[in-house]
Structure 1
Amino acid sequence: MKLVRYGEPGAERPGLIDARGNLRDLTDHVTDIAGGALARLGDLKRLSPDSLPLVPDTPRLGPCVGNVGKFICIGLNYADHAAESGMSPPPEPVIFAKFTSAICGPDDPIILPRGSEKTDWEVELAVVIGKPAKYVSEERAMEHVAGVCLANDVSERSFQTERQGQWSKGKSSDNFGPLGPWLVTLDEIADLNALPMWLDVNGERMQDGSTADMIYKVPFLVSYLSQFFTLRPGDVISTGTPAGVGMGMTPPRFLRAGDVVELGIEGLGRQKQLVVEDA
């Protein structure tokens, strides 16, 4: 299934995309694509999409999962990105948090925070937890995953690396966490470790990679994280980005108001974001 949330920010409704690409409403069957509903996806899979009401027009798509409890990110999880960052691949996953207030829809604008000098892009595969995971083995980790989606780990590098403290303040500005368009269940993905991924700025290809190049794969990451804290339904794990970010260029290149960012992962859809100044 391709599950979505559509409507105005804060008032999104649950839906799915049928085989013909039509948006169908799920309100009669689930209150939201969030929390406990993610543990009951089997009930939704038994529905006939053609029996669901068609949604007219083309409404805004919100983040494909609601009420996210934890937004966990994995740093330096592609060797080529670690190299362009001037760092060695880490001996264990680098973990940091992106505050949930950063989450927005896939085509909502990227908002440059006040004082921003080095806002950057990162196309990433994100994993959405479907049932609680605590001390799970790598072999059983995927039993706890509801699905995967496309994410852009927007990052303000001067906040992240040039000021005191940890990375989160450079990762968590408003609209720095676009998720979606779809939450795609695992039965729709032939090989999670072979998904082409890309990102363009103003039509110019910046990132051109594949999940095949991830250092730590999804089952390991879910198991690893569950050793430190319980993963709960709706938690999101963004798994890292390949080479091609702005800070790795010579000279570095960063986003400015008016830029357009487009990104995608095969089978997970695409996003398009206009860069704007904060009000």
Structure 2
Amino acid sequence: MTRFATYTADGQTFYGAVTDAGMIALSPQFPGWPSLREVIAADGLPALAEAAEGKPVTHRDFTYEIPVPNPEKILCVGVNFPDRNAEYKDGSAQPKHMSLFPRFARSFTGAERPLIRPPENHTLDYEGEVAVVIGKPGRRIKPEDAYAHIAALTLCNEGTIRDWVRHAKFNVTQGKNWDNSGSIGPWLVPFTDAAQLDNARIITRVNGEIRQDDTLARMMFPIREEIAYISTFTTLQPGDIIITGTPTGAGARFDPPKYLVPGDVVEVDVAGIGTLRNTVADEFGEDEA
């Protein structure tokens, strides 16, 4: 299956097809679709796949960007696995409704780039997740129709500054939106079959050690329900991203916590989608902090 990425090379931003040898730039062939957001809105991923056939690699030296630039909405589902709910040790049963919070595009970086730990607080944590990209707009979408609104899948490391999610009683926004604290990518995989999600297994590794390992089938709020619930109060638009929930095993839940430090390597892996890999770096060097 053809994979599509947004990337920077030679001082320019392109989108194109990913190969083992490098990128095939496709954006120059489609001036009416300036980014993958417009491609998705036009249901253009099949056209990109056709255009890539037989084409040579155009870029071997490149930098990944987040696949869909400037989506209108990035919505994240929190505490969506049974063991994650138990981690809070508050005795609560499965909630009636899902927890949601927004993230800004600026809070994410691309694959193979460092997650940034800010000088204000060093409780940078990882959360491996599957992200779905909306292709077909909709409002009040029925669960049984939800998958028809997905254009593509990608991966997310929903990096969090843990101390800052505790600054207020009812929100986590400020702890979830530090610039370049999380990542999305490395590419988009077209969504063609329910099995891509229903059978998906998420594995997150830190420096090669497995920290998270679970399947989407165990989520308390399945992706069909996420799309239905979210589209009840807001119209989903092409290019919108829903980050679907992380399994147990984030660093904050260890005793003592295992927060990320500069030099760490974090990998989020889902068979059939790929591996999202990032390092960790401080925003400023020691001499600047």
TM-score (norm 1): 0.91
- Correspondent of 1:197 among 186, 202, 217: 202
Partner of 1:248: 253
TM-fit CA distance, 1:78: 0.7
> Does 1:60 pair with 2:63?
yes
- Correspondent of 2:89 among 72, 75, 86: 86
SS class of match (1:179): strand
Q: Report the Cα distance in structure 2 between the residues aligned to 1:191 and 1:173, rounded to whole angstroms.
A: 31
Q: Report the Cα distance in structure 2 between the residues aligned to 1:211 and 1:81, rounded to whole angstroms.
A: 13
Unaligned 5+ runs, structure 2: 285-289
**Is the contact between residue 26 and residue 48 of structure 2 (CA under 8 Å) also seen in structure 1?**
no
Partner of 2:125: 120
Partner of 1:260: 265
TM-fit CA distance, 1:36: 5.4
Task: Answer with 81-90 or 117-126: which moved more.
Answer: 81-90
Q: Relative to 1, partners in 2 of residues 1:99 and 1:179: Cα closer, same or farther, differing over 3 Å?
A: same
**Is the contact between residue 107 and residue 271 of structure 1 (CA under 8 Å) also seen in structure 2?**
yes
**Is the contact between residue 153 and residue 177 of structure 1 (CA under 8 Å) also seen in structure 2?**
yes
Count, aligned residues: 278
> Does 1:70 pair with 2:103?
no
Q: Report the Cα distance in structure 1 between the residues aligned to 2:126 and 2:10, rounded to whole angstroms.
A: 23
Q: Relative to 1, partners in 2 of residues 1:266 and 1:252: Cα closer, same or farther, differing over 3 Å?
A: same
Task: Answer with 124-133 or 26-35: which moved more.
Answer: 26-35
Partner of 2:189: 184
**Is the contact between residue 26 and residue 51 of structure 2 (CA under 8 Å) also seen in structure 1?**
no
**Is the contact between residue 129 and residue 157 of structure 2 (CA under 8 Å) also seen in structure 1?**
yes
**Is the contact between residue 36 and residue 233 of structure 1 (CA under 8 Å) also seen in structure 2?**
no
**Is the contact between residue 40 and residue 151 of structure 2 (CA under 8 Å) also seen in structure 1?**
no
TM-fit CA distance, 1:190: 3.3
Deviations 1:38-79 (A, max 9, x none): 432365266153243422314112111122111100001111
Q: Relative to 1, partners in 2 of residues 1:215 and 1:232: Cα closer, same or farther, differing over 3 Å?
A: same
TM-fit CA distance, 1:9: 11
Partner of 1:225: 230
Partner of 2:23: 23
TM-fit CA distance, 1:116: 1.3
In the TM superposition, 1:99-110 aligns within 5 A as 99-110=104-115
Partner of 2:287: none
Task: Answer with 67-76 or 50-59: which moved more.
Answer: 50-59
Q: Which residue identity lines up with residue 140 of structure 1 in the other structure?
A: D
Q: Report the Cα distance in structure 2 between the residues aligned to 1:82 and 1:11, rounded to whole angstroms.
A: 44
SS class of match (2:58): coil
Deviations 1:161-217 (A, max 9, x none): 245561011010011231111111112663412112111112211111121221111
Q: Which residue identity lines up with residue 262 of structure 1 in the other structure?
A: E
Q: Which residue identity lines up with residue 55 of structure 1 in the other structure?
A: T
Q: Which residue identity lines up with residue 206 of structure 2 in the other structure?
A: V
Partner of 2:6: 5
Q: Report the Cα distance in structure 2 between the residues aligned to 1:73 and 1:43, rounded to whole angstroms.
A: 28
Q: Report the Cα distance in structure 2 between the residues aligned to 1:140 and 1:212, rounded to whole angstroms.
A: 18
Deviations 1:219-277 (A, max 9, x none): 11111100001111111110110011011112221112222212211111112212111
Task: Answer with 239-248 or 95-104: which moved more.
Answer: 95-104
Q: Identity of aligned pairs, percent?
A: 31
Unaligned 5+ runs, structure 1: none
Task: Answer with 237-246 or 60-69: which moved more.
Answer: 60-69
